[in-house]
Amino acid sequence: MIEKEREANKHVESFGIGFWIRVQFSAPPPIIFDFRLQIADFADLTIIMSSTTLMTAEELIALPSGQHRYELVKGELLTMSPSGEEHGRLSATIAYLLTNFVRVNSLGVVYGAETGFKLETDPDTVLAPDAAFISTGRVGSAAQGYRSGPPDLAVEIISPSERKSKVEQKTNQWLSFGARAVWLIYPQNRTVEIVFANGQRTLFTESDELVDDVVVKGFRVLVAEIFSQL
């Protein structure tokens, strides 16, 4: 007796989400296992899951303070550890130098470290520089929550561990949202770089005098004085 030859064919086709497998023998008839999930249903589920993870500026400001520092980028929460002593001394010195000059010359308002600026809505983006300045014409009255819109000047103190790509990304964020200039303070080599919205960049070393005749008009200070408290 000649035994009939049985052939097995397996065929798998991808439908994005879900799949079906057909196992066919010469006998008995084909058996089809169908595990397909409707793609539209899965897309709806994905949208729901994504939307629930986003945070608003109102939720951000309600978070407990003390253990961490927070920022919000397009609704995603960024958690950072508290600043170290060197960072704290530098931010206080910069705010002090700017405040004295700005008040005497009635140029506007200087903001201290970690003041939140709401730069984007739905999804929300809130960034907090180490110091900031807004000119008189834009100041207005103080808000109870985050300041809406960018400062004219954002000051960022750069830690040695920060990658250059991250520094450039943060700088571009401030400028793209409307800041007129960003000061990048590098305590490791005691330099300050000013990046203007028009793309101009100026680097000042410890032996130089930092000059800003564009945003904080007439401001001058020896770079060594910025780092004098370290």
Instruction: Name the pTM for this structure.
Output: 0.74
Backbone angles phi, psi at 131, to 5 degrees: -165, 160
Structure confidence at residue 52 (pLDDT):
52
Answer yes or no: is pLDDT of 7 > 50.
no
The DSSP letter of residue 83 is: P
Structure confidence at residue 140 (pLDDT):
87
Structure confidence at residue 50 (pLDDT):
39
Lowest mean pLDDT among 28-32, 166-170, 210-214: 28-32
**H helices within the chain, ranges in order?**
39-53, 57-61, 85-104, 136-139, 164-176, 223-226
Cα 124 to the center of its chain, rounded Å: 11
pLDDT band at 103, cuts 50/70/90?
A: very high
Structural domains in the chain, CATH included, are 9-53 (no CATH), 76-226 (3.90.1570.10)
User: pLDDT tens digit string along 117-134?
Assistant: 999 999 999 999 999 999
| Greater pLDDT, 50 or 116 | 116
Q: b vs e for 205-223, b when ≥16 Cβ sit within 10 Å of the residue's Cβ?
A: eeeeebebebbbeebebeb
User: pLDDT tens digit string along 37-93?
Assistant: 343 333 333 333 334 589 999 999 888 876 788 899 999 998 888 889 999 999 999
Answer yes or no: is pLDDT of 30 > 60.
no
| Cα 219 from Cα 134, distance rounded (Å) | 14
The DSSP letter of residue 114 is: T
**Collapsing DSSP states into helix, strand and coil, what is residue 8?**
coil
Answer yes or no: is pLDDT of 20 > 70.
no
Q: What percent of the chain has pLDDT over 90?
A: 66
| Cα 150 from Cα 214, distance rounded (Å) | 17
Structure confidence at residue 68 (pLDDT):
80
Mean pLDDT, range 105-121, rounded to an integer: 95
Average pLDDT for the chain: 82
Answer yes or no: is pLDDT of 31 > 80.
no
Reported as type and span, the H/E element at residue 190 is none
